[in-house]
């Protein structure tokens, strides 16, 4: 229906990799739980991008269906995750991930 | 003669009884068992001697095999008893002197704690000594050797609550241990080369050792030097005087310290093959005799004088062995056992009478107060100094002096050393005699000896006089049954020039008298003159040097003890042990490290996940 | 089209970078939304219009809104901003950077192993996706709905209990008469 771009799959995958790593860095570096969840979203999105790249390469809808699933999973995860963050804030009065470490040793 | 086995078995049984029940029985019972065991053993030894002398067995020796002790592969050691004239003499002396000393100590130790323990150890000692001299193979000799070493340790440290006694006991044990190691290596060598430890077999085939015979001889000499307190392992004996006086008399004068002499005499066939080793033996003996003679001159403790005297006299015995005069050494052993034990026991009377006073400069004027002790000490001193003609010591010492000059292995130097020592002997022992029994009064007498103690010293005094009459030189009649008896073991004595021998008898008599005279002069007559001598230049330094036993203890301390202590303190952490504790420590450290990774922080866990992912990816991709 | 695609890639990367380094939560969220939208553009450019719309609607629309709500509820203000500044110190980036670099190297190696010519232009439209979804992958739909229910119930359960209502003190204000007053009275609680 419209002209689709012919970007080499390698490039798209490389972009997905970089996005994934940026999200990963965010998870490891940030202490605030909100940011951690945000970075997780970035990572998940990068994975979705990889799937779409594959779908584009093979011209199959299966990749897109996988992305739908990813979307669903991300939504559920965000819902539960954010309610957990609220619970933690309610209990510890902080959203610092390093404070929530009573399972140490 | 078949009751021979009772001779060592009776004291052993006594020791066992006393070990188990000694604390439970009353003192008199313990004393009775202790003395009775050795007494019975003595009686049996008399019976055996009578039987042996009356009807000598074929081959000159009687063997009694008791049981098989070790049977491992090609190593077969039995426990057997071998009775020939040499061991007969040894057990007779050991049993008799042992019995006398036991009687003495029954009274001497009566007020001490651990009375039963004392007799247990003493009996065990006598049993070990008898096993040592009766054993028919070198391993049972070694068994007895170790046994007497153990009992020596136990008895030196008898009053163990005083730490100094424990130190002296340990010193004795450790120094003799060095000798024991040498002896053990010698036994290994003999077994390796000759394939047997049976004494008669080994001595019979000793020629098979070839050039190693010297090595074996020197190794055995090492063991003998340790046990008999010769240079360089003599440092333990003066300190061993920390034990009770009967112990000093029995172990460190009459019997244990002569074990080395017995060893060399027993293996004389081996030594006969190696003149070099024999020369070493003779030199060791002569040097030690002179050394100890000088050291004894300056001692203040009466028992230390006697200890150095023992070292010196055993030096004589070694000298005799080294020049090949085996029978003379054994003869001197016998007479020495009598008069040295006598000296110790009468010194013990004096010590106990003055309430544990050992310093001779604090004693004095005791001649009238303790007549028994005084007369018996005089007899002992005379015998020790070889007072001519009337004392046993004269005949035995003279035999040695003559052999030192005339034997193939003898020389003028050896004889000279022996003569000097003879003079010194007279000097130092009469110094003690005059200082203790004459002169201004020292401490007052508190206790007097009782019947048993007096009996013991008088008996020994008698034997110190008559004991020598069985070995007279040719000039004085040549009545020498002793020599003839031992010729059955050692071979006949070579013929010697009689006239020269007479001359030398004269020399040795002169030397003894000179020594005694000097002692009389310095310490009785010219007492006022001696302090002037003491103030002369160099005297004090020389005195201290001799007092310290020529600095051997100082030397060993600097050379051996201190580096060892430094090394052990360096290894305080025990690096070998660290191999094992290190394992535990590493595990603990690993645990601590791993626990640290459980920080409870999500970020850290995520980092770990990433690390793992990277590693797995790398493994998968880089292929 | 290619140019748009590459531009969108750049925006996405920059947006992600900003998202993880801002100290104000809202700024980070906005950057994140920018990144998501850029990724949607990439989807579109690659011939997946259905997914790109879904991305905008669900991801940037619903999920990010959830984030914004929560951030508002937590009320992280300037003190938290200062705290974040402190936390984002120098050394904190060291180990993750090293590991990420290693991962990047490995990933690059893996990605460049993909061979093949650029895909021939072709769009996979919603019709195709829908058919595939309800024909071959119909179970996936059911599972997805199960997952959503689970998420819903979980979120509801885990969320902290509501705060206690503060006691209402008898006010001296007269009882509300007008409807407007009533409305403000009710909503003022």
Nearest CA among B204, B248, B224, B234 for reference residue B109: B248
Q: Give the residue from chain A lying closest to C62, CA to CA.
A: A75
Q: Which of A10, A13, A82 sits opposite C66 (nearest CB)?
A: A82
Q: Which residues from B are below 8 Å from C100, CB to CB?
A: 610
Is C43 in contact with A28 (Cβ distance < 8 A)?
Answer: no
Mean local confidence (pLDDT), B215-225: 92
Position C145 scores a pLDDT of 94
∠B432-B434-B439 over CA atoms, to 5°? 125
pLDDT at B584 over 60: yes
Q: What is the mean pLDDT of residues B253-273?
A: 87
pLDDT at B528: 64
- What residue has token string 């019709």? C127
- Cβ(B338)–Cβ(B383) below 8 Å: yes
pLDDT over 70 at C185, yes or no: no
Q: Which chains touch B (3 or more CB pairs under 8 A)?
A: A, C
Q: Does B560 touch chain C (CB under 8 A)?
A: no
Say yes or no: A104 contacts chain B, CB-CB below 8 A.
Answer: yes
Q: Under 8 Å CB-to-CB from B410, ≥6 apart: which residues?
A: B282, B323, B403, B404
Q: Give the one of B607, B621, B622 whose C-beta lies nearest to C99's C-beta.
A: B607
Please tell me what DSSP assigns to residue B527.
T
- The shortest C-alpha distance from B618 to chain A (Å) reads 16
Q: CA nearest A31 in B: which residue?
A: B603
Predicted TM-score of the model (pTM)? 0.69
Nearest by CB: B598 against A29, A97, A104? A104
From the list C103, C109, C110, the residue facing B614 with the nearest CB is: C103
**Cβ-contact B451, B481 below 8 angstroms:** no
Shortest Cα distance, chain B CAs vs residue A33, angstroms: 10
**pLDDT tens, position by position, C8-17:** 999 999 999 9
**Mean per-residue pLDDT, B405-431:** 86
B276 CB contacts (<8 Å, ≥6 apart)? B214
- Does B603 contact A97 at a Cβ distance shorter than 8 Å? yes
The widest CA-to-CA distance across chain C, in whole angstroms, is 79
pLDDT over 80 (residue B189): yes
Enter the ipTM: 0.91
Residues C129-155 have a mean pLDDT of 92
In this predicted model, what pLDDT tens digit does every residue of B457-482 receive, in sequence order? Answer: 899 999 888 888 877 777 677 777 78
Determine whether the interchain pair C95/B618 forms a contact, defined as Cβ–Cβ distance below 8 Å.
no
For the CA atoms of chain B, what is the radius of gyration? 29
Q: Are B81 and B66 in contact (CB under 8 A)?
A: yes
Which residue, among B591, B602, B604, would best test binding to A if mutated, counting the most A CBs under 10 Å from its CB?
Answer: B602
Mean pLDDT over residues B500-508, rounded? 79
pLDDT value of residue C166? 58
Which of C1, C55, C111 has its CB closest to that of A3?
C1
Q: Does residue A92 sit at the C interface (CB-CB below 8 Å)?
A: no
Distance from CA of B590 to the nearest CA of A (A): 13
- Supply the pLDDT for residue B465: 87
- A97 in contact with B at a CB cutoff of 8 Å? yes
For testing the chain C interface, which of B597, B601, B621 should be mutated: the one with the most C CBs within 10 Å?
A: B621
Instruction: Please judge whether C148 and A49 are an interchain contact, meaning their C-beta atoms are less than 8 angstroms apart.
Output: no
Instruction: Give residue B193's pLDDT.
Output: 86
CA dist., res. B427 & res. B385, Å (int):
8
The pLDDT score that the predictor gives to residue C187 is 45
Q: Which residues from C are below 8 Å from B611, CB to CB?
A: 99
Average the pLDDT over B522-545 and give the result: 72
- Average pLDDT over all residues of chain C: 81
Inter-chain touch C106–B621, beta carbons under 8 Å:
yes
Q: Is the pLDDT of residue B495 over 70?
A: no
CB contact under 8 A, B603 and A101: no
Confidence grade of residue C186 (pLDDT, cut at 50, 70, 90): very low
**CB neighbour list of residue B331: distance below 8 Å, 6 or more residues apart:** B395, B396, B399, B471, B482, B483
- What average pLDDT is seen over chain B? 86
CA distance B611 to chain A (A): 12
Whether B3 and B44 have beta carbons less than 8 Å apart is answered as yes
Facing A28 at nearest CB: one of B598, B599, B610: B610
CB neighbours of B604 closer than 8 A, spacing ≥ 6? B597
- Phi, psi dihedral angles at C176 (to 5 degrees): -65, 135
Residues of B in contact with C110 (CB under 8 A): 617, 621
* Lowest pLDDT segment from B127-136, B550-559, B585-594, C75-84: C75-84
∠ CA A29-A32-A38, rounded to 5°: 80
Region B583-606: mean pLDDT is 86
Q: Among partner residues B607, B611, B617, which is closest to C106 by beta-carbon distance?
A: B617
pLDDT at B497: 67
For CA atoms B415, B419, B420, B421, the dihedral sign is positive
Rounded to an integer, what distance in angstroms lies between the CA atom of residue B89 and that of residue B262?
11
pLDDT of residue B281: 92
A97 touches chain C (CB under 8 A): no
**Is B586 buried (19+), middle (13-18) or exposed (0-12) by CB count in 10 A?**
exposed
pLDDT of residue B285: 92
Q: Are B332 and B338 in contact (CB under 8 A)?
A: no
Per-residue pLDDT of chain A in tens (105 residues, 90 and over written 9):
677 777 888 889 999 999 999 999 999 888 888 899 999 999 999 999 999 988 888 888 888 999 999 999 999 999 999 999 998 888 888 878 777 777 776
Yes or no, beta carbons of C19 and A42 under 8 Å apart? yes
Answer whether C155 sits within 8 Å of A53, measured CB to CB: no
Whether residues A104 and B603 touch (CB distance < 8 A) is answered with no
**Which residues from C are below 8 Å from A21, CB to CB?**
100, 103-104, 107
Is C72 in CB contact (< 8 Å) with chain A?
Answer: no
Inter-chain touch C133–A83, beta carbons under 8 Å: no
Cα B321 from chain centroid? 16
- The answer, yes or no, to whether the previous bond of A92 is cis (omega within 30 of 0) is no
Regarding predicted confidence, which is higher, B287 or B449?
B287
Within an 8 Å CB–CB cutoff, is residue B610 touching chain C? yes
The DSSP letter of residue B496 is: -
Contact C95 B607 (CB under 8 A): yes
Interface of A with B in 20-59 (CB under 8 A): 24, 27-29, 31, 36
Q: Does residue B289 surpass a pLDDT of 50?
A: yes
A28–B603: do the CB atoms touch at under 8 Å?
yes
Residues facing B78 on adjacent strands? B68
Interface of C with A in 12-51 (CB under 8 A): 12-13, 16-17, 19-20, 25, 28-29, 32, 35-36, 39, 42-43, 45-48, 50-51
Give the closest-approach CA distance of B164 to chain A in angstroms.
55
Which of A18, A22, A13 shows the shortest CA–CA distance to A55? A13
CB contact under 8 A, B621 and C95: no
Contact call for residues C19 and C35 (beta carbons, < 8 A): yes
Confidence of residue B620 (pLDDT cuts 50, 70, 90): confident
Strand partners, B77: B70
Residues in A closer than 8 angstroms to C90, CB to CB, are: none
Rounded Cα distance between B604 and B594, Å, is 13
B572-592: average pLDDT: 85
Structure-token match 């000759």, residue found = B194
Nearest of B118, B119, B97, B121 to residue B32 by alpha carbon: B119
Tell me which H or E stretch contains B89. helix B85-108
């Amino acid at each position: 229906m419209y002209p689709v771009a012919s970007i080499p799959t390698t490039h798209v995958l490389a972009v997905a990799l970089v996005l994934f790593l940026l999200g990963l860095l965010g998870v490891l570096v940030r202490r605030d739980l909100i940011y951690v969840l945000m970075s997780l979203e970035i990572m998940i999105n990068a994975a979705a991008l990889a799937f779409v790249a594959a779908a584009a390469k093979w011209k199959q809808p299966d990749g897109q269906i996988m992305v739908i699933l990813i979307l669903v999973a991300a939504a559920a995860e965000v819902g539960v995750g954010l309610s957990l963050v609220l619970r933690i804030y309610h209990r510890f009065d902080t959203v610092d991930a390093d404070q929530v470490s009573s399972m140490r040793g | 003669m078949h009751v021979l086995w009772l001779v060592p078995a009776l004291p052993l049984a006594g020791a066992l009884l006393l070990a188990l029940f000694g604390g439970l029985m009353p003192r008199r019972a313990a004393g009775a068992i202790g003395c009775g065991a050795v007494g019975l053993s003595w009686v049996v030894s008399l019976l055996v001697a009578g039987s042996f002398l009356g009807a000598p067995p074929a081959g000159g020796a009687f063997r009694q095999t008791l049981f098989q002790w070790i049977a491992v592969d090609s190593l077969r050691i039995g426990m057997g008893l071998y009775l020939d004239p040499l061991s007969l003499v040894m057990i007779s002396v050991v049993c008799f002197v042992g019995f006398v000393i036991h009687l003495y100590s029954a009274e001497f130790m009566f007020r001490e704690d651990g009375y039963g323990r004392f007799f247990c150890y003493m009996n065990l000692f006598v049993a070990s000594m008898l096993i040592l001299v009766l054993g028919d193979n070198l391993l049972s000799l070694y068994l007895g050797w170790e046994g007497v070493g153990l009992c020596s340790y136990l008895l030196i440290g008898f009053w163990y609550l005083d730490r100094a006694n424990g130190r002296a006991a340990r010193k004795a044990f450790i120094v003799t241990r060095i000798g024991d190691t040498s002896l053990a290596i010698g036994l290994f060598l003999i077994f390796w080369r000759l394939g047997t430890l049976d004494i008669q077999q080994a001595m019979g085939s000793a020629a098979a050792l070839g050039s190693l015979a010297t090595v074996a001889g020197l190794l055995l000499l090492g063991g003998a030097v340790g046990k008999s307190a010769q240079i360089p392992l003599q440092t333990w004996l003066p300190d061993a005087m920390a034990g009770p006086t009967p112990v000093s008399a029995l172990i460190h004068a009459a019997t244990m310290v002569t074990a080395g002499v017995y060893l060399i005499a027993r293996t004389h066939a081996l030594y006969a093959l190696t003149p070099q080793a024999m020369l070493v033996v003779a030199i060791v003996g002569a040097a030690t005799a002179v050394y100890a003679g000088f050291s004894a001159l300056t001692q203040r403790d009466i028992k230390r004088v006697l200890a150095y005297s023992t070292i010196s006299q055993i030096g004589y015995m070694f000298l005799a062995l080294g020049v090949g005069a085996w029978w003379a050494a054994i003869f001197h052993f016998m007479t020495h056992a009598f008069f040295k034990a006598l000296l110790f026991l009468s010194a013990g009377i004096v010590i106990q009478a003055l309430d544990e006073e050992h310093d001779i400069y604090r004693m004095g004027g005791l001649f009238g107060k303790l007549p028994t002790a005084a007369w018996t000490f005089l007899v002992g001193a005379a015998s020790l100094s070889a007072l001519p003609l009337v004392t046993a010591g004269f005949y035995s010492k003279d035999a040695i002096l003559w052999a030192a000059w005339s034997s193939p292995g003898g020389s003028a130097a050896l004889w000279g050393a022996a003569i000097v020592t003879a003079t010194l002997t007279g000097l130092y022992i009469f110094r003690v005699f005059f200082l203790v029994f004459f002169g201004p009064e020292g401490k007052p007498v508190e206790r007097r000896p009782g019947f048993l103690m007096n009996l013991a010293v008088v008996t020994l005094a008698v034997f110190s006089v008559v004991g020598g009459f069985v070995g007279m030189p040719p000039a004085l009649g040549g009545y020498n049954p002793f020599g003839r008896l031992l010729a059955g073991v050692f071979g006949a004595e070579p013929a010697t020039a009689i006239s020269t021998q007479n001359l030398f008898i004269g020399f040795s008599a002169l030397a003894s008298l000179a020594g005694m005279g000097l002692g009389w002069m310095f310490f009785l007559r010219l007492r006022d003159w001696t302090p002037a001598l003491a103030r002369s230049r160099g005297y004090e330094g020389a005195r201290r040097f001799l007092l310290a036993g020529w600095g051997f203890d100082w030397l060993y301390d600097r050379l051996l003890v201190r580096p060892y202590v430094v090394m052990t303190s360096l290894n305080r952490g025990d690096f070998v042990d660290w191999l094992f504790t290190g394992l535990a420590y590493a595990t603990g450290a690993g645990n601590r490290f791993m626990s640290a990774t459980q920080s409870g922080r999500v970020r850290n866990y995520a980092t770990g996940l990433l690390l793992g992912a990277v590693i797995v990816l790398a493994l998968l991709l880089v292929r | 089209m290619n140019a748009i695609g590459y531009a969108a890639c750049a925006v996405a990367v920059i947006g992600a970078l900003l998202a993880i380094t801002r100290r104000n939560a809202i700024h980070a969220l906005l950057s994140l939304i920018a990144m998501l939208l850029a990724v949607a553009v990439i989807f579109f450019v690659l011939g997946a219009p259905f997914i790109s719309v879904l991305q905008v609607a669900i991801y940037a629309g619903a999920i990010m809104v959830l984030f914004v709500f929560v951030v508002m509820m937590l009320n992280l203000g300037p003190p938290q901003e200062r705290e974040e500044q402190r936390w984002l110190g120098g050394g904190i980036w060291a180990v993750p950077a090293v590991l990420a670099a290693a991962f990047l190297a490995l990933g690059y190696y893996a990605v460049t192993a993909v061979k093949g010519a650029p895909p021939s232009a072709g769009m996979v439209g919603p019709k195709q996706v829908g058919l595939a979804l309800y024909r071959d992958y119909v179970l996936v739909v059911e599972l997805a709905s199960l997952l959503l229910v689970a998420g819903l119930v979980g979120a509801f359960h885990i969320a902290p209990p509501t705060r206690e209502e503060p006691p209402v003190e008898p006010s001296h204000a007269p009882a509300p008469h007008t409807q407007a007053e009533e409305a403000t009275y009710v909503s003022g609680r």
